[in-house]
Chains A and B, each alone.
Chain A
């Protein structure tokens, strides 16, 4: 394997609260090869967004990276200064946010926003930057770019605004695009258009994607690799194909079984009992143990490490074989 474009090792993100330290991300490790799309899936509070933001130093002021390394294109981000990080953000890495309405500048024409990076960072002339903006707008499928270049964000639909965000993200030819729930605020038809666009960009431009979402189906359609997060930890990793067809962590299994599958109608949806733990005082041992159907005594003791299962597969479950048995009994997704 070539050198990964992104390598995250033992990442810890902490918030200092009055009632103690809250570990939003507790030992997340994953990597992304050039041209690859990694999905990070989890529910709200699982730490997926904080893990993503930590990669580019965009954490809230009250949060900090407590330990771990983040390497992007060979540069150790955690050790880098703010200048170096800003350079990285401007050139190598770009980010797409969930709500383009709040991420875009409301009083600046979208054309200027797309041209800003080429103008400021790439040193293009005003005219060249505008041409670049028009090219990018065409690339992301904005109809009638010569007219839309003069538009303000509020004059565009949600889908168009997200296309503008993607154009901005692409404006400095990044190698890696971090996507934080980029289609959650959109309608299913527009989501489909944006996902197809991101897929095409990844294929045609060879950019790598990290795709954070709570939507398993969105991950299944856009990513090749997935990391499942629960209560601040990565609990399972592997190829999307392997993890979705044969999950090896009871949380992944429960999540897959609780989602209505478009291709397989079930009489009754199963659900995960209980709710995720308070991250300021997570359960001892396996964090999922209070909700786990396969729980044993040793799940309640020492923290469970990630257990390598060969290839890119790993699980934080001592009894992952039980999951495999369960899946053999009843498939989790259609056509498995």
Chain B
């Protein structure tokens, strides 16, 4: 595959857990939570890549590491061939911007929209001082808010409007890559569509590349060109959206898709979905990390050997049986323990 706009290579992000001191006193190494544990990911220019997975799988941490809000323990993030370190130049920061989940806490409540936007434009010298006012208006126009909003504080807006302000703020720096972390999940159903449509519109108009982090599979299906599925700190499958939804190869992806509640009444998930709870990323299972919840896991293969991503460059899956006849389904290990 050609080098993408953004290349993530063997990325690891870890957190030392609290209680580390107590363990150190006793001569033990502190517990480490490996939120992102060896991720390779490539984002092509102009595409929308959906990143999905359960909470705690590390998808937000990966997004934050890409933007530079987390410093990786190992691995690299490259942007147009240039490595983006933990400390980034102003230009490097400008190119990759983020929209957060909760517009109620991501905006400064004491600043008007004008102050929020003008500060950024000034600090990054985006436009000459005399043009700041005009640019603020232009940005609001871009996200579908009138210039009357300029003098308002965040509290005067609804959730959807706040998210528009947050998007305008991200766009103020004229980024090329936008990382949107659950941009609609805090919003009401009828408002979600307008924000999703806006993101799509902006992508077309400004030629943005978007990394959309989301848990809602229907949303991802509607707006992404390609999807990456994450499980316990690792990417377990990537494929073009249509293919991922119709021909998933990883049992976790299959379970995840079955678990989605459908709008068509009675089209209840007939399959098993995914059983059990996600294991702790502090002490992930050996071999394939999904094996305790997997209905086709084989012993000892799956509990000892990490399958790694295999397949065609455009469709990769990390399962020993992704590309061959899977063994018959059985009761996953997590449920066997229960009985």
Contact call B197/A269, Cβ cutoff below 8 A: yes
Contact call B189/A221, Cβ cutoff below 8 A: no
CB contacts under 8 Å to B, within A253-282, are 254-256, 258-263, 265-266, 268-272, 275
Which residue from B160, B218, B277 sits with its C-beta under 8 Å from A260?
A: B218
State whether A143 and B335 are in contact (beta carbons under 8 Å apart), knowing that A191-B259, A193-B273, A221-B262 are contacts in the complex.
Answer: yes
Which residue from B55, B197, B215, B277 sits with its C-beta under 8 Å from A271?
A: B197
Contact call B189/A218, Cβ cutoff below 8 A: no
CB contacts under 8 Å to A, within B217-249, are 217-219, 221-222
Q: With the chains together, A241 CA to B266 CA distance in Å?
A: 8
Contact call A189/B264, Cβ cutoff below 8 A: no
Contact call A192/B261, Cβ cutoff below 8 A: yes
Q: With the chains together, A159 CA to B278 CA distance in Å?
A: 10
- Report chain A residues within 8 Å CB of B278: 187
Which residue from B263, B266, B275 sits with its C-beta under 8 Å from A259?
A: B263
Q: With the chains together, A192 CA to B266 CA distance in Å?
A: 14
CB contacts under 8 Å to A, within B266-293, are 266-269, 273-275, 277-278
State whether A187 and B55 are in contact (beta carbons under 8 Å apart), knowing that A43-B190, A260-B216, A263-B267 are contacts in the complex.
Answer: yes
- Report chain A residues within 8 Å CB of B188: 43-44, 214
Q: With the chains together, A334 CA to B233 CA distance in Å?
A: 34
- What's the nearest-Cβ distance from chain B to residue A42, in Å? 9
State whether A220 and B275 are in contact (beta carbons under 8 Å apart), knowing that A191-B259, A254-B190, A260-B216 are contacts in the complex.
Answer: no
Is A310 at the interface (CB under 8 A from chain B)?
no
Q: Please, how many residues of chain B have a CB less than 8 angstroms from a CB on the other chain?
A: 43
- Report chain A residues within 8 Å CB of B30: none
- Report chain B residues within 8 Å CB of A268: 197
Is B193 at the interface (CB under 8 A from chain A)?
yes
Contact call B189/A188, Cβ cutoff below 8 A: no
Is B299 at the interface (CB under 8 A from chain A)?
no
Q: With the chains together, A271 CA to B201 CA distance in Å?
A: 14
- Report chain A residues within 8 Å CB of B273: 189, 192-193, 196
Contact call A271/B190, Cβ cutoff below 8 A: yes
Q: With the chains together, A189 CA to B256 CA distance in Å?
A: 6
Which residue from B261, B262, B334 sits with its C-beta under 8 Å from A143?
A: B334
Which residue from B194, B256, B263, B338 sits with its C-beta under 8 Å from A144?
A: B338
Contact call A192/B192, Cβ cutoff below 8 A: no
State whether A191 and B268 are in contact (beta carbons under 8 Å apart), knowing that A144-B338, A258-B189, A262-B217 are contacts in the complex.
Answer: no
CB contacts under 8 Å to A, within B139-173, are 158, 160
Q: With the chains together, A227 CA to B338 CA distance in Å?
A: 39
Is B69 at the interface (CB under 8 A from chain A)?
no
- Report chain B residues within 8 Å CB of A259: 189, 192-193, 218, 263
- Report chain A residues within 8 Å CB of B158: 275
Contact call A271/B191, Cβ cutoff below 8 A: yes
Contact call A143/B263, Cβ cutoff below 8 A: no
Contact call B189/A217, Cβ cutoff below 8 A: no
CB contacts under 8 Å to B, within A109-158, are 143-144, 157
A-B contact pairs, 7 of them (CB 8 A): A190-B277, A192-B273, A193-B273, A244-B265, A254-B190, A269-B222, A271-B190
Residues of chain A having any CB pair with chain B under 8 Å? 43-44, 143-144, 157, 159-160, 187-193, 195-196, 199, 214-218, 220-221, 240-241, 244-245, 254-256, 258-263, 265-266, 268-272, 275, 333-336
